[in-house]
Amino acid sequence: MATFDEIADRLPEVFEWLGERGLQPVDAPFFRYKLIDMPGRLEVEAGVPVATGITGGDEVVAGTLPAGTYVSVTHIGHPDGLVGVTAELLRWGAEQGVTWDVAETDDGQEWGCRLEVLRTNPAVEPDPDNWETELLFRLADE
C-alpha cells in the first residue's frame, strides 16, 4: 500500500498512450487487484476501457476483463475510506454466503477480478472527499 501511488500516478500515461493512437475511453479508469497479501504485497493493474481490441506496447498491456456476475458498491468520499468499505462488502458477502472469485495461494489472495472504478475525474473535482469510487468484485462461477 505504501507504493500504491506509483501505479495510480501512471494512469495519465495510459490516457496519453491511448490518445496517441486515436482511442477514446468508453468508461472510467480502474484499478484491478490481482494479488493481495495485506499489508505487505499487492499486485495491481491500472486500466482504461476502450471499445475495440488493441495491441499493447512496451509499457501498456492489452487485456480483457472476465465476464461474469459482479457485486457492486459505490463509495463517495476520500479514497482512505475504501479500506472500510471493502471490509464491509467482504463481511456482507460472508453473511450472504457469497462465493468470490478468489483463490488462497502461498503468495496471498489471487482474485479473478476485483476492481476499483474511479468514477470521478480529479481534474474536474479536485476534492477527494467528493470522489465516487465503485467497487466491483466478481463472483465465482457456479
Contact 87, 95 (CB under 8 A): no
Stated pTM of the model: 0.90
Q: Which of 14-18, 25-29, 70-74, 115-119 has the lowest mean pLDDT?
A: 14-18
Q: What are the residue ranges spanned by the domains of the chain?
A: 4-138
Q: What is the pLDDT of residues 42-98, one digit of tens each?
A: 888 989 999 888 887 777 888 899 999 999 999 999 999 999 999 999 999 999 999
Predicted pLDDT at 3: 60
Predicted pLDDT at 4: 66
Predicted pLDDT at 66: 94
Cross-strand pairs, 134: 74, 117
**Cα Rg of the chain (Å, integer):** 16
Q: Which residue has the higher pLDDT, 122 or 59?
A: 122
Q: Is the pLDDT of residue 2 over 60?
A: no
Which CATH architecture is the domain 4-138 placed in? Alpha-Beta Barrel (3.20)
Rounded CA separation 142/91 (Å) = 20
